[in-house]
Amino acid sequence: MTLLLTVIDQSPVHQHQTLVTAPGLSLELAIECEQLGYHRYWLAEHHNSIQFSGTAPEILLTRIASATRSMRVGSGGVMLSHYSPYKVAETFALLGGLFPGRVDLGIGRAPGGGTMSSHALAMPGRVPDVDQFPAQAAMLCAFLRGGFPIGHGYDVLTFDLPVKSMPSLWMLGSGGGSSQLAGQLGMGLALAQFITPNACTPRIFDDHRWAWQRAGLASPPPRLLAVAAICANTDEEARYIAGTAVYRKLSAGKAPREVLLSPAEVQRRYRQMSPVERAKYDETLAGMVVGSAQTCRRRISEFARDFQCDEIGIVTVTHRFEDRLRSYQLLAGDQPCAFD
């Protein structure tokens, strides 16, 4: 089985960068990753974060698609609860026309931020109930595919998209909650193992496939497993660099908010942790793909085998941009990064 690698870019705010300048590094990384042979380049959506700068994936992916030639580009993902399905459909229909055969539309249920940013995004209305997400997702698919029945009020809102310009449709999930919905709607499933390692099991992809087949779809359902990965010259160096991502995850949602810490500062704090805190740190590190190129490629291949998945998304968060770029380079190796 040929294994494809995809970039999941959260647009981290690296050392010496700001929320304004950090997205520019996504462009630099994307150009390099296309040359390295990465299959897709997906951009995440976060709001009111001091660590992640990607607030509008549809804008950043337009810039990246313009600067690259063949690599697929997309959202990983648009947080649909904030938006009108019709507006999202319009935006990605336009992108599909501009970059035919290259655009992916991934949507997520999570807000990508806190309560205050959700309220601000909803103004002048109210924050939608999370239970509305299935209806929003179904409506989005219907707009793009012309799926409203005759007589429905929205059946006149069509895009007349040729097949080549249709964005591929994906749903993001970090557990099993979205798997059956994605299958019912004929959407690919991108499973975020990097968010909830213990909750992500191969059974989730099985549920997606069964729902896909019950919906009468014959082709194999698209699936992607996204993992956190830090690759460096040695296993020891990778574990050191990965401290930034590990500590960020452990401190998420806690006050006061902090920028991405340097590996040296993380190690200093690690030495001051209680045994319980250190155990949690070590467990979080163990849930990531960390090590030399040989170590990481072996672990990624194991994930692909266990989840019966031929595409792995790589999420890499580091203190320095140079370390993130080097990690993607090492994973790709000397050959385009589709390996057996």
Question: What is the predicted pLDDT for the residue at 94?
Answer: 97
Cβ atoms of 312 and 300 within 8 Å: the answer is yes
- Which residues contact residue 55 at a Cβ distance below 8 angstroms, ignoring those fewer than 6 apart? 45, 46, 47
Q: Tens digits of per-residue pLDDT, 139-164?
A: 999 999 988 888 898 999 988 889 99
Hey, what are 19's tokens? 């929320």
- CB contact burial 284-317 (16+ within 10 A = b; e otherwise): bbebbbbbbbebbbebbeebbeebebbbbbbbbb
Confidence band, pLDDT 50/70/90 cuts, at residue 334: low
Confidence band, pLDDT 50/70/90 cuts, at residue 337: low
Q: Tens digits of per-residue pLDDT, 199-238?
A: 999 999 999 999 999 999 988 999 999 999 999 999 999 9
- The average pLDDT across 69-76 equals 97
Sign of the CA dihedral running 22, 63, 172, 208: negative
Q: Which helix (H) or strand (E) holds 23?
A: helix 22-36
Q: Give domain limits for the chain.
A: 1-173, 224-329
- Architecture of the domain made up of 1-173: Alpha-Beta Barrel (3.20)
Rounded to 10°, the helix 85-98/57-67 angle is: 0
Regarding pTM above 0.85, the answer is: yes
The answer, yes or no, to whether residue 127 has pLDDT greater than 90, is no
